[in-house]
Amino acid sequence: MVKTQDIARFEGVRLFFTGVGGQGTLLATRLVGEAALAAGLHASMSEIHGMAQRGGIVESSVVLGNIQAPIVGEGQADVLVAFEPLEALRAINRCHAQTQAVVNLAPIVPFTVAAGQGRYPDIARAVAMLQEKLAKVVALDAEALARQAGSVKATNMVIMGAVAAMQVLPMSKETWDACLQRIFPPKLYELNQKAFNMGYEKGHP
């Protein structure tokens, strides 16, 4: 893990987020950006969410450190954050052999599959494929953990807790927590902090 005192020498990390509308992908992206800024890092963000309100694909990215371009192109993602297993497979071209990934195992079946026009991939095989191609994959049922924390709406914070625990970002646990307090109103902070901590436990090596 990059320690706080080593931030001046931190070169940079490219994170690519993918999910579907309504999963809180953009809020998670914002959390990373704010945590990075709080730690004294340069951060650039971008997002694509044209069909977000209809359950369409939502993609975003955060680039930290001494990297100027905010877009994560093919083969450039150092960290893949996938809120849905099928979307993790779709994003594999953004990754390289040293990419580390957090993948939510709870599927959201596309309309075409629900209408009988296609088949959803086998999740276990999808994870095995990701593990074969990437350096590390943390696969977890973030939705189930969020339900345990108190609300499935906190699924995105479970995932972000796992990302924070992967030891590739130079933000301390205290910095993440301070940003959670800033983003969420008091009545929602405790629930989302609990969800974040549950993900952190799952993602910690």
Per-residue pLDDT tens digits for 83-136: 999 999 999 999 999 999 999 999 988 777 888 888 888 999 999 999 999 999
Q: What is the pLDDT of residue 114?
A: 82
Instruction: Match 């150092």 to its residue by tokens.
Output: 78
| Stated pTM of the model | 0.89
Q: What is the pLDDT of residue 169?
A: 92
pLDDT of 2 strictly over 60: no
Of 167 and 193, more confident: 193
pLDDT of 165 strictly over 60: yes
Phi, psi of 171 (to 5 degrees): -105, 135
For the record, the structure tokens of 111 come out as 């309309």
Strand partners, 13: 64
Q: Are strands 57-65 and 43-48 parallel, antiparallel or unpaired?
A: antiparallel
Q: What pLDDT digit, counting tens, does each position of 32-56 carry? A: 999 999 999 999 988 776 554 556 7
Average pLDDT over residues 65-85: 91
Helices (H), 95-185: 111-114, 123-133, 142-149, 155-164, 173-183
